Structure 1
Amino acid sequence: MQTTVINRKQRADIAQETLAILERGNYISQHGNQVSIQGSLTAAKQASIHYSPEELKQVLRTLTAGEKFVTAISVTNEGCLTAARRLASENRVSPLCLNFASAKNPGGGFLGGSEAQEENLTKSSGLYPCIAQMTAMYEKNRALQSCIYSDDMIYSPDVPVFRDEDYALLDNFYSASFITAPAVNLGALKMNEPERVGEAAGIMLNRINLVLALALKHGHRHLVLGAWGCGVFGNDPQKIAAYFLNALSPGSIFHGAFEKIVFAVLDKKNTGSLQAFETTFTNNK
């Protein structure tokens, strides 16, 4: 959990430092070690894939049940990368993290010092160039003029993560994989398209299934998920937790498909998001 309080200007400065690191392909760690991420970053950028809604439907349609696990599901009050770093260390894997993405701008407002989940990810890793190159997804959502957004997603494997929770530069980077996907912006939908609010539940249920299908297609068994769209997008965390539970329950192709799932729900302001996920997954074990 982040322990150092920093302001917007400091976060913007960190974002600029991250861009410089990504340009150089190396950095000096907090203990004075030079660390190269060039090879890993280049590989992650080249291996990133933009999936259209049609391609994702095909992924979901053609999935077959593979090895089954007794999935260990936990709900934690921590950031996405705190959970990812732990999974990477304990299981020697590149955990798959869901990036709660801006639909229109890669990295959201990270260059301006904003502090939501995606901004944290892009300040701390090589994710930004992996997604910024996928201009088609962002242009499509800008043209849609709807806060539902499209089902387009970006998959980025083995992205180097080089900062800790306080944005200090790590002596050894680790790898995490990401699915970048926007949730429905329910708050804006209620204001601007109230006649479409009833569509949101079905769209989010389907979108969650597409995220899990993409994770499974690429062989991931350790996932970091969370309260997707429950911040400024205004989705109800109880409903989002229920949608995830529905997708992972007996009868679903995703039941037992994953070895470990962490719902990392950092709730510093006691908004109720953490409690909603804890209640949902504790009561349905």
Structure 2
Amino acid sequence: MKDRREINIEVFEDTMKHYKSNPTLKAAVSNSVANQKFTAADETVELPQCAGYTPTVTVSGKRSLEAAVEYTKQGMKTCVLNFASASNPGGGVTLGASAQEESICRCSTLYPCLNTGDMWSCFYTPHRQAENPLYNNDCIYTPDVYVIKSDTSIPKLLPESEWQKVNIITCAAPNLRHKPSNCMNPGAGDKRADINDKELAQLLTSRIRRIFEIAAANGNEALILGAFGCGAFKNPPIVVAKVFAEQLQAFKGCFKAIEFSVFHTEREAGNYNAFKAAIR
């Protein structure tokens, strides 16, 4: 019987086969790469006048792309936050890892957009060289990523008529693992970051604000967020959820819908419960 990693690798390799051979997907990847934007941590993001929406704000137990396609089907320009590895495109997707970024890459055309020379030179290599597990506010905005598979435990190829396009912000949360570096996150050092909850909240405030800014600046109407850094990177969900709740107040008029998709099992509902309590 195949284990979970073997199944994940098979699904990812099948996804790669489709976007390397299907003319529509080949063109889609080329378009996304051509219009992809890197925003450095010290850059200013020019914000448009917010439309003054009164958005629907929800916390769900959905996976990220599962949530996103519900808005694209309603005709909304939709953006998804990718909880990224700072040092490897797709995190551990080639190794069969199961975190959020890997799930996105198994279901969509995101991976070849991130795995380019330009993104390595401006995003991944500098993070590796910095050897700072807290990373920084660098972001990649990838437009018109095609979702071609169901965002489920074992993704299945969808009919072309059901493919949807989403925009994706790739940003890394602080890596608070006791040993930050591993094969999926090289260059993060071997010691846990020395940071307390107050300092972490300050750091996350600027990073999460940047995520909202980029989503708004690119005219997105729906924004899919979640338990950013609360899985493999071990950020405390109560701290992360509180910062999101605070920044939500400043930016919610820019969006028609904001959904915190916090997929979980019944045994591991801590992240979901923290967000459900904080997001009103």
Alignment TM class, shorter chain as reference? 0.7 to 0.9
Give the unaligned 5+ runs of structure 2: 181-189
Identity within the alignment, %: 29
- The DSSP-based 3-state class of the residue aligned with 1:104 is coil
CA 1:194–1:132: 2 relative to 1, 3 Å: closer
Q: Which residue in the other structure is 2:60 paired with?
A: 76
Evaluate the alpha carbon distance shift between residue 94 and residue 158 of structure 1 in structure 2; reply closer, same or farther with a 3 A threshold. farther
Q: Secondary structure at the match of 1:175?
A: strand
Q: Does residue 263 of structure 2 align to residue 275 of structure 1?
A: no
The secondary structure found in structure 2 opposite 1:244 is helix
Deviations 1:85-125 (A, max 9, x none): 11111x21331000000011000000111000000000110
1:17 corresponds to which residue?
14
**Cα pair distance change 1:200/1:158, threshold 3 Å:** same
| CA positional deviation for 1:270 | 2.0
> 1:194 deviation in Å?
4.7
1:149 alignment counterpart: 135
Question: For residues 93 and 194 of structure 1, what CA distance do their matches in structure 2 show?
Answer: 39
Q: Tell me the distance in 1 between the aligned counterparts of 2:132 and 2:38.
A: 20
Of 182-191 and 112-121, deviating more is 182-191
Shift of 1:6: 6.6
The 2-side partners of 1:119 and 1:41 are apart by 18
Say yes or no: does 1:192 pair with 2:194: no
Distance 2:42 2:93 in 1: 30
How do 1:168-183 and structure 2 match up within 5 A?
Answer: 168-172=156-160, 173-183=163-173
Q: What SS does the corresponding residue of 1:121 show, helix, strand or coil? A: helix
Aligned residues: 261
Amino acid at match of 1:214: I
Query: What pairs with 1:33-44 in structure 2 (closer than 5 Å)?
Result: 36-44=24-32
Partner of 1:100: 83
Mapped partners of 2:234, 2:62: distance in 1: 20
RMSD: 1.9
Aligned to 2:223: 223
Where 2:81 maps in the other structure, the secondary structure is: strand
Residues 169-213 of structure 1 deviation map (CA, whole Å, 9 limit, x = unaligned): 110311011000000012348972553446322111110000000
Does residue 124 of structure 2 align to residue 127 of structure 1? no
**Contact (CA 8 Å) 1:147, 1:189: kept in 2 or not?**
no
Cα drift, residue 280 of structure 1: 1.2
Q: Is the 8 A contact 1:148 1:200 kept in 2?
A: no
Name the residue aligned to 2:263.
266
TM-score, normalised with respect to structure 1: 0.86
Q: Kindly tell me: are residues 37 and 241 of structure 1, through their superposed partners in 2, closer, same or farther at Cα, counting changes over 3 Å? A: same
Structure 1: runs of 5+ lacking an equivalent: 27-35
